[in-house]
Amino acid sequence: MRRLASVLAASVLVLTGCALPRHYPEVTFYANGKTIRVEPAVYCDLNGDNCAERGKPAQLKVPAGKVVQISVDGQIANGIWEAVFLYREANGQEKTSGTNLLGKGEDFTYTLALPNKTDQLLGIEIHEAAAAVMQTGEPLLRGFWAVEVTG
C-alpha cells in the first residue's frame, strides 16, 4: 500500500509540474547539398494569441542560381502557409516575392527557384496562418520560420 502511494505521488508530480516541452512544428530547407531543420522564430496558439519568440533565423548557404527545396511539418501543411523570400537581382535591386497560399492538406513541399540564374537569394520566411483573420480579411499569422541566406 505504501509503495502504491509513493507511485501515485510521483505520478501527480510528473503530471502537474514536470510536463514535457511542447513540440513546435519544424520546416526543412535543402540547398546546395545541405539540409537544415528550423523551429519557428515566433509561434502562437491557433487563434494567433499567446505568442512565444523562439530564437534567431537559421543560416543556409545558397549560391546564385540554385534552388531551395522546402518541406513543412504535417501540422503546417494541414493548415494554410506561404513562402516569402527576398532576393537581389544582378543589377543590385532587391525584390520580395512569395507563393500563393499553400497547404490545406495538399502541399507539404515547395521548390523555390528565382526568376533568373544570376539572382541571389537573401532570405526566406515560411508563414503559417492562424484560425483568425484580420479586419482586412487576410489570415492572421500564427508562426513564422526564418532563414538568412549566404551566397
pLDDT at 29 over 90: yes
Cell numbers linked to 73? 511539418
- The ranges assigned to domains in the chain are 23-150
Residues 6+ apart with CB under 8 A from 31: 60, 61, 62, 66, 67, 68, 69
Task: Please name the amino acid found at residue 33.
Answer: G
pLDDT above 70: percentage of residues in the chain: 85
Per-residue pLDDT at 22:
66
> How many angstroms from the chain centroid is the CA of residue 127?
6
**pLDDT per position as a tens digit, 61-77:** 999 999 999 999 999 99
Average pLDDT, the chain: 86
**Pairing outcome for strands 109-112 and 94-98:** unpaired
Per-residue pLDDT at 141:
92
pLDDT (average), residues 92-102: 95
pTM across the whole model: 0.82
Per-residue pLDDT at 28:
98
